[in-house]
């Protein structure tokens, strides 16, 4: 069995929030997760869910209150780990007064790349992220997108086996996002493991082999993207051109839910069983069919599903919190 | 050079710190101001006859000392607190760099910056001195001793700036460091006071008097202005003291930084 | 306990911290010793108080306190070194009082230690007078300053008229010491008497909290007692000789003759010695300071030992 790239073993992080009771705030509940070598793994969750906390724990920037992790078979405290991993933090910030080239060279020095190879490697990276022309400009003049690219360059500069990316698409325009996506695909082809966190589901859907959903510090679900989205829901979607923006009554009678797209295009979703009957309607009305596809559950739906129990929990928490308040107040004889 | 060695990494961090500092325009403004002051010293000296040399040395060295401390504090704290605040540190620490190497590297980068800085400011003072005295006197060699002590002073200030930056916000670090600079200049008087006070007050005063950095012994500006020699023993002891005190502050910084959760 | 790299660093850093902490304290000691002489010299590079005031950026009170501390330190140090050189004391006190004219302890210190001759003081009664008069000019309602003035005139300059005048002015203040009017009166007629001197030193003792000044006053009071005792004893011996035609051979003789009762002893409990030539001598001159009588012929008046300098711990 191949060594897992990352083995997270009950990693936990709590902070002491200094309120009137000093209750510990659990930023990350004991997390148990394994990421296999060579896969692109998506870590999904809303803002504040614990994604960045997890990454910081794995990077050794923050220390766990309990639990541990193994990275590439080594203990996460092992200094040898660092030479095999790359990290792109969210909204990175670099040394203002260095040029891109100088920065990469510095990072190369710190990563232990021998000086002979270093300059060649730096140029290579710059080219790869499309910054060759701007290599001599000081970073304080860089746009957000350019900074992100520098960030990516420094993450893969030393050819690490495992790359951690925290919201790699944030702040990028569609072109930039496309480039990052391509880069991640390349990395996968090179056999690297990529672990990235995001809240943009379409990216995750198109890039990841597996995903995990995290909410309020707790892991809600893990699974292969292919499996999670393969589930059909017993529906089909028909796209066709309508006459004068009118949906044939017969279609609606079959139980179709329709909406209008651009021009005269109509999207209708109806039960799978009515598929043939729907096609008959179109032929009768002489309406042009564009496409017929089974409806799959989207990752978005899976995601929202995983989140939902939490919302109820949130409400429940609020209730118990209010009850505690009331109890505390009555104990002290104060009105609430 | 084997790039994977601790020493190499410390060296790279130090050099990078130096580079960052040098490119920061704040540095130049402060140096320019100090040089201006040296120039002003010449004018002041010309107003009062026979003490031009005295004024140039006094004013020049004091300017170097004070501005140097300000630079040490601003850049020292800027380079560390800001780095932690702005998360440049994340990408640095994701590499095979130990946290303690980072602290030590920063220290050497900072002190290196200040030494170079002092060199240029001292050049200004010596030029002013030659201008007013028209030649070098043998007693001018003691000005070098005073400058050496000023550099030692910077070492301690940098170490303190780093120490506070390891756990405090930039503003508070600056305030604490500056406060210690002021109190440290009175440390000899503090010890005198501690000696004649008894009881709890005396114990407390003694503790503080030895804990604050001994800047009073590093300030020999008045003496060299009058041309008095500086005993070799004092130079030796001050050097030893600076090394020890800086080591203390830096190791404190390392210990704190080791276990710090980075926001 | 697993020795992770982190733990190794923690241990090493802790060791460095502790060792260098101790080391820096040791180095501070060495530096202080090295700099002992230069500190006060250096302190006076700024002789112009005007400049000092400007430099202190308004914190003249603090600066005055610092100079005051240095003055006291300097004196103690010079005393301890037995150098007899107190030339910086006057300038230090001048600067102190010019920065803060209301720093009364400085005038007190000056009166007690600027005026007397070395090694007990700087031997500058003129400077002491000037300082005290400056103090009076700025604090005209402080009786102690007038007392100090009278004290200097009386003890060091033997100018009883001026001393009386000073005491009188002090006695006229709304808030004053009970002894002031008495001292003023005594100056006129009984200036040279033991009782007057005793009253003076007692007033000094009683009116200050400074341990050094008090100790000094006590030594003087004891010396006065000895001087008085010996003067009386020598008078008695004279009477004895007048009556019997010869010198007594022991105190027993005198006692027999009814002039004294018991064997006289000095305030420290040692019996006086009756010398063959009729003089009285103290048993151990080294223990009685400031005495002017009862010393072996040709001996110098003994000086108090240097109080153990609260040493550089």
Interface of C with A in 2-41 (CB under 8 A): 4-6
Q: Report residue C172: phi and psi, to 5°.
A: -80, -5
Contact C132, C107 (CB under 8 A): yes
B chain contacts of residue C38, beta-carbon cutoff 8 Å: 223
Question: How many inter-chain contacts (A to C, CB under 8 Å) are there?
Answer: 4
What HEC string does A206-237 produce?
A: HHCCEEEEEECCEEEEEEEHHHHCCCEEEEEE
Q: Which of A74, A76, A77, A83 to mutate to test the interface with C (most CBs of C within 10 A)?
A: A77
What is the Cα–Cα distance from C312 to C305, expressed in whole angstroms?
19
What is the Cα–Cα distance from C41 to C43, expressed in whole angstroms?
5
The DSSP letter of residue B262 is P
Cβ C4–A77 below 8 Å, yes or no? yes
Question: How many inter-chain contacts (B to C, CB under 8 Å) are there?
Answer: 93
C chain contacts of residue A74, beta-carbon cutoff 8 Å: none
**Cβ-proximal residues to A79 (8 Å cutoff; 6+ apart), any chain:** B96, B98, C5
Summarize pLDDT for C273-287 with one digit per residue, the tens.
888 777 888 877 777
Summarize pLDDT for A52-108 with one digit per residue, the tens.
889 999 998 999 988 889 998 888 888 889 989 999 998 887 888 899 999 999 999
pLDDT bucket at B47, cuts 50 / 70 / 90: low
Neighbours of chain A (3+ CB pairs under 8 A): B, C
What local confidence, expressed as pLDDT, does residue A312 receive? 56
What is the Cα–Cα distance from C282 to C266, expressed in whole angstroms?
7
Contact C62, C289 (CB under 8 A): no
C chain contacts of residue A77, beta-carbon cutoff 8 Å: 4-6
Summarize pLDDT for B207-256 with one digit per residue, the tens.
999 999 999 999 888 888 877 888 899 999 999 999 999 999 999 999 99
Residue A61 contacts B where some CB pair is shorter than 8 Å: yes
Cβ atoms within 10 Å, residue B33: 12
From B233, B215, B226, B230, select the one nearest B150 (Cα to Cα): B215
Please name the residue ranges forming H helices in A258-298: 275-285
Pairwise pLDDT comparison (A134 vs C186), residue with the higher score: A134
Mean pLDDT value of segment A253-280: 83
List the beta bridge partners of residue A291. A239
Please name the residue ranges forming H helices in chain B: 6-23, 25-47, 52-86, 88-93, 99-133, 141-165, 170-184, 187-196, 199-211, 221-225, 232-258
Q: Which of A27, A81, A109 to mutate to test the interface with B (most CBs of B within 10 A)?
A: A109
* Distance from the B24 Cα atom to the nearest Cα atom in chain C, whole angstroms: 32
Phi-psi region of A191 (alpha: psi -120 to 50; beta: other; left: phi over 0): left
Quick one: which H or E segment has residue A198? strand A193-198
pLDDT bucket at B1, cuts 50 / 70 / 90: very low
Phi-psi region of A60 (alpha: psi -120 to 50; beta: other; left: phi over 0): left
Summarize pLDDT for A5-61 with one digit per residue, the tens.
888 888 888 877 766 656 777 888 888 888 888 999 999 888 878 888 899 999 989
* Distance from the B77 Cα atom to the nearest Cα atom in chain A, whole angstroms: 15
From A212, A209, A193, A180, select the one nearest A86 (Cα to Cα): A193
What is the Cα–Cα distance from C8 to B257, expressed in whole angstroms?
15
Cβ atoms within 10 Å, residue B227: 15
User: Quick one: what percent of chain A has pLDDT higher than 70?
Assistant: 88
Pairwise pLDDT comparison (B234 vs C73), residue with the higher score: B234
Residue A71 contacts B where some CB pair is shorter than 8 Å: no
What is the Cα–Cα distance from A147 to A93, expressed in whole angstroms?
8
Contact C31, B234 (CB under 8 A): yes
DSSP annotation string for B114-134:
HHHHHHHHHHHHHHHHHHHHS
Does the pLDDT at position C307 exceed 60? Answer: no
Chain B residues contacting A via beta carbons under 8 Å: 1, 3-4, 8-9, 12-13, 16, 19-20, 23-24, 86-98, 259, 261-262
User: Quick one: what percent of chain C has pLDDT higher than 90?
Assistant: 12
Tokens of B145: 């001793």
Q: Tell me which residue in B8, B88, B93 faces A95 most closely, judged by beta carbons.
A: B88
ipTM of the complex: 0.85
Classified as helix, coil or strand, A285 is: helix
Tokens of C244: 């019997």
What is the Cα–Cα distance from A105 to A154, expressed in whole angstroms?
9
* Distance from the A307 Cα atom to the nearest Cα atom in chain C, whole angstroms: 38
**Cβ-proximal residues to B40 (8 Å cutoff; 6+ apart), any chain:** B59
From B170, B150, B142, B132, select the one nearest B49 (Cα to Cα): B132
Phi-psi region of C262 (alpha: psi -120 to 50; beta: other; left: phi over 0): left
- Judge if the upstream peptide bond of residue C119 is cis by omega within 30 degrees of 0: yes
Quick one: which H or E segment has residue A75? strand A74-75
Interface of C with B in 190-229 (CB under 8 A): none
Cβ atoms within 10 Å, residue C95: 24
What is the Cα–Cα distance from C170 to C136, expressed in whole angstroms?
10
Mean pLDDT value of segment C296-300: 73
Does the pLDDT at position A336 exceed 50? Answer: no
Contact B91, A151 (CB under 8 A): yes
Does the pLDDT at position C56 exceed 80? Answer: no
What local confidence, expressed as pLDDT, does residue C312 receive? 38
Q: Report residue C224: phi and psi, to 5°.
A: -60, -45
What is the Cα–Cα distance from C266 to C233, expressed in whole angstroms?
12
**Cβ-proximal residues to A171 (8 Å cutoff; 6+ apart), any chain:** A91, A144, A145, A148
Residue A107 contacts B where some CB pair is shorter than 8 Å: yes
Mean pLDDT value of segment C198-217: 82
Nearest CA in chain B to C313: B195
Does the pLDDT at position C311 exceed 60? Answer: no
**Predicted TM-score (pTM) of this structure:** 0.76
Look at A41-50, A81-90, B112-121, C73-82 and tell me which has the smallest mean pLDDT.
Answer: C73-82
From A172, A154, A173, select the one nearest A164 (Cα to Cα): A154
What is the Cα–Cα distance from A73 to A7, expressed in whole angstroms?
8
> Do strands A193-198 and C273-274 pair parallel, antiparallel, or not at all (unpaired)?
unpaired
Does the pLDDT at position A328 exceed 70? Answer: no
**Cβ-proximal residues to A322 (8 Å cutoff; 6+ apart), any chain:** none
Tokens of C272: 């006086």
Summarize pLDDT for C101-156 with one digit per residue, the tens.
888 888 988 888 888 887 778 888 899 999 999 999 998 999 989 999 988 988 88
Task: Please name the residue that has the structure tokens 């001759």.
Answer: C117
Residue A79 contacts C where some CB pair is shorter than 8 Å: yes
Tokens of C147: 């007392």
Contact A258, A252 (CB under 8 A): yes
Q: Which residues of B184-212 are buried (b: 16+ CB within 10 A; e: fewer)?
A: bbbbbbbbbbbbeeeeeebeebbeebbbb
Does the pLDDT at position C67 exceed 80? Answer: yes
What local confidence, expressed as pLDDT, does residue B46 receive? 64
A chain contacts of residue B95, beta-carbon cutoff 8 Å: 82-83, 107, 110-111, 158
């Amino acid at each position: 069995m191949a060594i897992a790239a990352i083995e997270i073993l009950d990693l936990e992080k709590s902070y002491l929030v200094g309120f009137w009771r000093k209750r510990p705030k659990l930023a990350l509940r004991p997390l148990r997760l394994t990421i296999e070598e060579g896969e692109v793994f998506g870590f999904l969750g809303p803002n504040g869910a614990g994604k960045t906390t997890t990454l910081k724990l794995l990077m050794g920037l923050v220390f766990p209150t309990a639990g541990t992790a193994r990275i590439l078979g080594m203990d996460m405290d092992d200094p040898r780990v660092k030479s095999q991993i790359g990290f792109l933090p969210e909204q990175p910030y670099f040394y203002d007064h260095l040029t891109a080239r100088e920065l990469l060279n510095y990072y190369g020095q710190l990563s232990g790349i021998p000086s002979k190879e270093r300059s060649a490697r730096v140029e290579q990276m710059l080219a790869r992220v499309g910054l060759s022309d701007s290599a001599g400009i000081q970073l304080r003049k860089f746009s957000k997108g350019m900074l992100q690219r520098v960030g990516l360059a420094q993450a893969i500069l030393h050819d690490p086996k495992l790359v951690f990316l925290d919201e790699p698409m944030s702040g990028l325009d569609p072109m930039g996002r496309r480039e990052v996506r391509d880069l991640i695909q390349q990395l996968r082809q090179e056999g690297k493991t990529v672990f990235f966190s995001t809240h943009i589901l379409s990216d995750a859907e198109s890039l990841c082999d597996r995903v995990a959903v995290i909410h309020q510090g707790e892991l809600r679900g893990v699974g292969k993207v292919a499996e999670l989205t393969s589930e059909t829901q017993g529906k089909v979607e028909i796209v066709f051109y309508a006459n004068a923006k009118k949906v044939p009554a017969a279609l609606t009678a079959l139980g179709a839910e329709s909406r209008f797209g651009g021009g005269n295009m109509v999207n209708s979703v109806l039960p799978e069983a009515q598929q043939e009957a729907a096609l008959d309607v179109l032929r009768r009305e002489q309406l042009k069919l564009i496409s017929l596809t089974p409806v799959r559950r989207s990752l978005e739906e899976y995601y929202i599903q995983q989140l939902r129990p939490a919302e109820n929990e949130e409400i429940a928490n609020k209730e118990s919190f209010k009850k505690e308040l009331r109890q505390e107040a009555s104990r002290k004889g104060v009105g609430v | 050079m084997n790039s994977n060695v601790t020493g190499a990494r410390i060296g790279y961090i130090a050099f990078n710190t130096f580079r960052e500092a040098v490119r920061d325009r704040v540095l130049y403004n402060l140096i320019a101001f100090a040089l201006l002051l040296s120039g002003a010293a010449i004018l002041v000296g010309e107003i009062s006859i026979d003490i031009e040399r005295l004024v140039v040395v006094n004013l020049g060295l004091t300017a170097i000392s004070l501005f140097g401390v300000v630079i040490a504090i601003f850049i020292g704290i800027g380079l560390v607190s800001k780095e932690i605040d702005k998360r440049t540190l994340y990408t640095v620490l994701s590499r095979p760099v130990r946290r303690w190497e980072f602290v030590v590297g920063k220290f050497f980068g900072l002190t290196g910056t200040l030494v170079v800085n002092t060199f240029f400011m001292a050049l200004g003072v010596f030029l002013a001195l030659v201008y007013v005295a028209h030649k070098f006197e043998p007693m001018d060699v003691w000005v070098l001793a005073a400058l050496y002590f000023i550099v030692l002073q910077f070492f301690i200030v940098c170490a303190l700036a780093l120490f506070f930056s390891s756990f405090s916000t930039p503003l508070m670090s600056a305030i604490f460091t500056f406060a210690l600079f002021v109190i440290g200049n009175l440390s000899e008087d503090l010890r005198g006071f501690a000696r004649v006070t008894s009881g709890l007050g005396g114990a407390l005063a003694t503790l503080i008097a030895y804990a604050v950095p001994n800047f009073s012994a590093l300030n020999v500006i008045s003496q060299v202005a009058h041309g008095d020699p500086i005993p070799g023993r004092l130079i030796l002891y001050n050097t030893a003291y600076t090394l020890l005190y800086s080591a203390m502050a830096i190791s404190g910084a390392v210990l704190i930084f080791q276990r710090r959760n980075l926001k | 306990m697993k020795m992770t790299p982190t733990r190794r660093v923690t241990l090493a850093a802790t060791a460095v911290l502790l060792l260098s902490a101790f080391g820096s304290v040791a180095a501070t000691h060495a530096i202080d010793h090295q700099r002992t002489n230069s500190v006060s010299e250096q302190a006076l590079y700024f002789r112009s108080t005007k400049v000092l005031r400007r430099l202190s950026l308004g914190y003249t009170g603090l600066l005055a306190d610092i100079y005051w501390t240095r003055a006291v330190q300097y004196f103690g140090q010079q005393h301890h070194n037995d150098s007899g050189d107190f030339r910086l004391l006057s300038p230090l006190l001048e600067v102190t009082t010019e920065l803060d004219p209301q720093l009364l302890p400085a005038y007190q210190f000056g009166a007690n230690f600027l005026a007397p001759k070395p090694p007990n003081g700087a031997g500058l009664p003129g400077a002491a007078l000037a300082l005290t008069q400056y103090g009076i000019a700025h604090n005209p309602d402080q009786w102690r300053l007038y007392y100090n003035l009278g004290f200097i005139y009386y003890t060091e300059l033997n100018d009883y008229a001026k001393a009386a005048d000073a005491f009188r002015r002090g006695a006229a203040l709304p808030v004053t010491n009970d002894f002031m009017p008495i001292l003023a009166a005594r100056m006129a007629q009984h200036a040279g008497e033991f009782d007057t001197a005793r009253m003076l030193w007692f007033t000094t003792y009683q009116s200050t909290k400074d341990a050094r000044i008090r100790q000094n006053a006590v030594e003087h009071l004891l010396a006065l007692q000895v001087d008085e005792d010996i003067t009386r004893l020598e008078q008695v011996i004279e009477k004895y000789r007048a009556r019997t035609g010869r010198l007594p051979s022991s105190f027993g003789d005198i006692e027999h003759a009814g002039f004294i009762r018991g064997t006289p002893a000095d305030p420290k409990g040692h019996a006086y010695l009756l010398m063959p030539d009729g003089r009285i001598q103290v048993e151990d001159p080294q223990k009685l300071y400031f005495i002017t009588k009862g010393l072996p012929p040709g001996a110098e008046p003994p000086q108090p030992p240097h109080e153990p300098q609260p040493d550089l711990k």
